[in-house]
């Protein structure tokens, strides 16, 4: 089974939870920019969150099912339809052989996700199916591709209330090893500033802008490069914060003022250009508790899934459905 790609937006890639354990070899994790969206799709289809999905950066495409396939749509809401009939986001559907699924531009956020029952079974590389374009691992999906689909025996027609994370907001951060290099006045100004996500952004990171002066650390020109991970907030030479994302480099020498908690990284990645972001520091014990709650919430996503009630106006073959069952007496 496969999904035939007729049209596709730029920078759309297959992503799963990424590959870990290779930082010492210069390869960062990659994986979905919005990990929560992976778990939401898995819950809608009743399958493992390890299954690979198609990550669509701002724009989807047109896809044809070569065989009957089950799909789910999560992440940044996009316009979508099956054979021209609109379908809702954050829900699962059946697409019959020959039917075309069309996904347009994002209405909010940045990254939308197309999941299939059984997951996309592109080749594994170092334990993951994730493309990592900056490391030349895999490539972007192109028109004419046939994306192989794994075996699946679950149900569709389900919906899930989405988490509101597509317009910016407050990100919780931990102090990093280099936070003490920033004086107290600078740190206070950092948490009081309302930043905007700039136009410079990709899967490596996203630059933030503000109306005031930049943020500098003492002795920042003498900092030695050391390990960095997604969520680290680097201060560039201009004093602009840069939040690092899944395809970030593995080492760096720019001073890092803080690190975004993993549970808030989906909100960071989904903040659209111009969206406002603020930061608030938390202590380690609070961060551990927040992360534990986040993992617990992920494990309970499947319990939050509920049947999708279709609008009769959206059912073109309504008369073929059995709308009334049973018999009653006309005199009762």
Give me the tens of pLDDT residue by residue for the chain, a chain 332 residues long.
889 999 999 889 999 999 988 887 888 889 999 999 999 999 999 999 999 999 999 999 999 999 999 999 999 999 999 999 999 999 999 999 999 999 999 999 999 999 999 999 999 999 999 999 888 898 999 999 999 999 998 888 999 998 889 999 999 999 988 899 899 999 999 999 999 999 888 999 999 999 888 887 876 656 667 788 899 999 887 788 999 999 888 877 688 899 999 999 999 999 999 999 999 999 999 999 999 999 999 999 999 999 987 655 555 554 444 444 444 444 44
List where CATH 2.40.100.10 sits in the chain. 168-294
Distance CA 290, CA 284 (A): 10
Q: Cα(first)–Cα(last) distance of the chain, in Å?
A: 53
Taking the mean position of all CA atoms in its chain, how far away is CA 290? 19
**Strand residue runs (E) in 48-194:** 53-57, 61-65, 69-75, 78-82, 85-86, 91-95, 100-106, 111-116, 146-148, 158-159, 168-174
Contacts 24+ apart (CB under 8 A), 196-200: 196/274, 196/275, 196/276, 196/277, 197/168, 197/271, 197/272, 197/273, 197/274, 197/275, 197/277, 198/240, 198/273, 199/273
Six-digit token string for 74: 């999560």
Query: What is the CA 106 to chain-centroid distance, rounded?
Result: 13
Q: What are the beta bridge partners of residue 125? A: 128
168-294 carries CATH number 3.30.365.10: no
């Amino acid at each position: 089974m496969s999904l035939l790609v007729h049209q596709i937006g730029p920078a759309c890639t297959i992503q799963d939870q990424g590959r870990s354990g290779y930082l010492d070899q210069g390869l960062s994790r990659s994986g979905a920019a919005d990990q929560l969206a992976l778990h939401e799709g898995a819950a809608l289809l009743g399958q493992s969150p390890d299954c690979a999905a198609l990550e669509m950066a701002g724009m989807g495409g047109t896809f044809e099912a070569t065989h009957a396939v089950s799909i789910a749509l999560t992440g940044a809401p996009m316009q979508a339809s099956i054979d021209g009939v609109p379908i809702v986001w954050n829900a699962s559907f059946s697409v019959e052989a020959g039917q075309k699924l069309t996904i347009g531009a994002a209405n909010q956020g940045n990254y939308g996700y197309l999941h299939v029952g059984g997951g996309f079974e592109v080749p594994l590389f170092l334990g993951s199916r994730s493309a990592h374009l900056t490391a030349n691992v895999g490539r972007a999906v192109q028109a004419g591709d046939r994306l192989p689909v794994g075996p699946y025996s679950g149900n569709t027609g389900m919906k899930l209330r989405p988490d509101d994370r597509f317009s910016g907001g407050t990100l919780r951060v931990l102090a990093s090893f280099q936070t003490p290099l920033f004086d107290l006045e600078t740190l206070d100004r950092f948490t009081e500033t309302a930043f905007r996500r700039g136009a410079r952004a990709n899967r490596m990171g996203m630059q933030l802008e503000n109306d005031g002066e930049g943020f500098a650390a003492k002795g920042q020109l003498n900092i030695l490069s050391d390990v960095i991970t997604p969520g680290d907030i680097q201060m560039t030479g201009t004093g602009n914060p840069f939040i690092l994302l899944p395809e970030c480099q593995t080492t760096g020498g720019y001073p890092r003022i803080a690190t975004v908690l993993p549970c808030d990284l989906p909100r960071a990645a989904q903040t659209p250009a111009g969206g406002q972001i603020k930061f608030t520091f938390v202590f380690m014990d609070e961060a551990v508790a927040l992360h534990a709650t986040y993992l617990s919430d992920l494990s309970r996503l499947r319990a939050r899934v509920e049947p999708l009630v279709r609008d009769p106006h959206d059912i073109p073959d309504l008369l073929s459905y059995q709308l009334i069952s049973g018999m009653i007496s006309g005199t009762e």
